């Protein structure tokens, strides 16, 4: 989608951080933007920040818990009522839960999956039919993370859900390509946001079991100089929003903010190639028999 002016966009987790950066970028090119968030205080602050950026009245806001499927169905109607035909869906809401798999309990796991993975599917289920209905094409952006491509052992819950979002996005892209609907997996590295404030929104049904005994989440032990260096590698929410906007225009399969992670990505995929070895005859047979799985065209698209 190249011409985005006048197109409708819906962004979950849109009242702060990356989501608000997307809202600003979209509104600045004339899109009709609706944002949703679980926190009313963040929605109020977002409207103040949008007004300060000269975007007052150009972004609609609503409360939404992305894990509540009934509420999502009602939100789909509200989005169309406020923003007209929906063309861009950004499933951005998520929690940056920093827990290793060995220290997590059932409540931690269920909460991470409910928000980070089920929340994405709930958005697709509620709003993809609205994009399909007008027949004008569209685009879906699913916010994963660099932790959806590279593991970080102290955040196994987060890694598991974000790897799942990347796989979901790749499958959905192949599925929707014939309909003129693009799909991107957004894999940001460091972005200045409040994603680590996740415990403030933990529902009672996911109350942690023995959290105090398991200790606080992991932290980086960095000197002030190293923190300053790390800060230079992080993007602002506005920069991240502009990257997503360009990714939509380019129909990008992946959207990255952090090229400094390239060595890790190279190492991961080289490990896969080493494990596969070489057998060109078997490769050719597989391509002939299951072309939709082996050698998928979504990986061969021009950047």
Find the catalytic residue in 152, 158, 254, 299. Answer: 158
Query: Among candidates 191, 201, 259, 251, which has minimal Cα distance to 22?
Result: 191
Which CATH number fits the domain that encloses residue 47? 3.40.50.720
Helix (H) or strand (E) holding 155: none
Catalytic residue flag (residue 158): yes
Residue 242: inside a domain, yes or no?
Answer: yes
Residue 111: inside a domain, yes or no?
Answer: yes
Both tokens of 60, joined, read 């609609």
Residue 121: inside a domain, yes or no?
Answer: yes
In this structure, the strands spanning 86-91 and 32-37 are unpaired
Residue 284: inside a domain, yes or no?
Answer: no
Given the structure tokens 């920069």, which residue do they identify? 239
Predicted model pTM: 0.88
Residue 94: inside a domain, yes or no?
Answer: yes
Q: Domain span at residue 110?
A: 8-257
Residue 216: inside a domain, yes or no?
Answer: yes
Q: How many domains does the chain have?
A: 1
Q: List pLDDT tens digits, range 22-39.
A: 999 999 999 999 999 999
Burial of 223 (0-12, 13-18, 19+ CB in 10 A): exposed
Tens digit of pLDDT at every position of the chain (303 positions): 789 999 999 999 999 999 999 999 999 999 999 999 999 999 999 999 999 999 999 999 999 999 999 999 999 999 999 999 999 999 999 999 888 999 999 999 999 999 999 999 999 999 999 999 999 999 999 999 999 999 987 899 999 999 999 999 999 999 999 999 999 999 998 766 665 667 777 878 888 765 444 544 555 565 666 555 555 556 899 999 999 999 999 999 999 998 889 999 999 999 998 998 877 677 666 666 666 666 678 887 755
Residue 263: inside a domain, yes or no?
Answer: no
Residue 266: inside a domain, yes or no?
Answer: no
């Amino acid at each position: 989608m190249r011409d985005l002016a006048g197109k409708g966009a819906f962004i979950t987790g849109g009242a702060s951080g990356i989501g608000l950066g997307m809202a600003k970028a979209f509104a600045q090119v004339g899109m009709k933007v609706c944002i949703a968030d679980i926190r009313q205080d963040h929605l109020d602050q977002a409207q103040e920040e949008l007004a300060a950026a000269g975007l007052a009245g150009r972004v609609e806001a609503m409360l939404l818990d992305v894990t509540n499927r009934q509420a999502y169905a009602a939100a789909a109607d509200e989005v169309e009522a406020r923003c007209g035909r929906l063309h861009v869906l950004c499933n951005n809401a998520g929690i940056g839960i920093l827990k290793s798999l060995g220290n997590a309990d059932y409540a931690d796991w269920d909460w991470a999956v409910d928000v980070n993975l089920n929340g994405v599917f709930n958005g697709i289920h509620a709003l993809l039919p609205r994009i399909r209905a007008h027949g004008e094409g569209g685009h879906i952006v699913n916010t994963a993370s660099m932790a959806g491509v590279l593991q970080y052992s102290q955040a196994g819950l987060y890694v598991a859900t974000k790897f799942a979002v990347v796989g979901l996005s790749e499958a959905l892209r192949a599925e929707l390509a014939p309909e003129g609907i693009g799909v991107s997996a957004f894999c940001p590295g460091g972005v200045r946001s409040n994603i680590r404030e996740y415990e403030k929104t933990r529902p009672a049904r996911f109350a942690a079991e023995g959290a105090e005994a398991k200790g606080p989440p992991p932290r980086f032990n960095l000197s002030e100089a190293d923190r300053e260096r790390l800060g230079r590698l992080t993007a602002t929410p506005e920069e991240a929003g502009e990257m997503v906007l360009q990714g939509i225009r380019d129909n990008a399969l992946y959207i990255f903010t952090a090229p400094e992670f390239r060595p890790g990505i190279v190492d991961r995929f080289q490990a896969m190639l080493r494990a596969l070895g070489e057998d060109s005859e078997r490769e050719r047979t597989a391509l002939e028999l299951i072309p939709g799985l082996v050698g998928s065209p979504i990986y061969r698209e021009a950047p």
